[in-house]
Amino acid sequence: MNYITTNDSEKGNPIQLAYQDFGEGKPIVFIHGWPLSQKMWEFQIPFFVEKGFRVITYDRRGFGQSDQPWMGYNYNQMASDLNELILQLDLKNVILVGFSMGGGEVAKYLGKFGSKRIEKAVFMSSIAPFMLETEDNPNAVDSSVFDGMKEGISKDRADFFSGFGRNFVAIEKHQDRVSEAQVQLNWNVALSASRKATLDCVDAFGKTDLREDCKGIDVPTLILHGDDDAIVPFEVSGKKAHQLIKDSSLKIIEGAPHGLTFTHHQEVNESLLEFINN
């Protein structure tokens, strides 16, 4: 495992992020979802390396093998972490792929740092542009849902993620596509994350308004979503992102749940490849 040191520190200790860097060619940076880690890209890494791309994955602060500070679980800081990764690896003409919560980093990075080093962007099962229902954001998610998630995590994190993980891939519908063993592995990954990070990130992905960031995106963008996503429904996020992001492309994967990188990885890989190559 490789590490970069971010521009942030806690009690004088620099915060490090774990990353992997495989292959040669145009760089693709994959940003994982909550509450997982870069391990979720197992089906994408070999596919794109073998297609001639340089594939970079990393663990968000608080997750996987990255440091687990007490603070910094907001999109401004997490976009700065992504920027440090891009700068320290001197990546150019990057394809940014953000899954679920990772879509927030894509939007905030482009809003905060611009597209100088970015060629294309992908929002996959993404929470962007704004999950929280407000007067000017109807047909979204009531704040009680996110508060309930935090309550469940605080009460019994292991039990909460047991149920969440099954819904993540809709395993009852997709037993021919994903195994109980994969669900158990995802549970183990989720529990390896910092409890504090896990809780704080609910507010980040649930209550951060990224609409202005999305409006300013000026690179070719793909919205990739499953039409059976019960965690982040397309109508709540992907549909709105497509409407906000100028000239964005839309790809709906029929029957796919939220965790489509596990259940529909072939369709995901083919959709990404087609977008990148066009």
Point out the residues that are catalytic: 100, 229, 258
Q: How many Å apart are CA 29 and CA 113, to the nearest integer? A: 16
**For the chain, how big is the Rg over CA atoms in Å?**
17
Q: Following DSSP, what letter does each residue of the chain receive, concatenated?
A: -EEEEEEEEETTEEEEEEEEEE-SSSEEEEEPPTT--GGGGTTTHHHHHHTT-EEEEEPPTTSTTS---SS--SHHHHHHHHHHHHHHTT--SEEEEEETTHHHHHHHHHHHH-STTEEEEEEES---S--B-BTTB-SSB-HHHHHHHHHHHHHHHHHHHHHHHHHHHTTTT-TTTS-HHHHHHHHHHHHHS-HHHHHHHHHHHHH---HHHHHT--S-EEEEEETT-SSS-TTTTHHHHHHHSTT-EEEEETT--TTHHHHSHHHHHHHHHHHHH-
Give the pairing type, strands 13-22 and 2-10.
antiparallel
CA gap 61, 49 in Å, rounded: 25
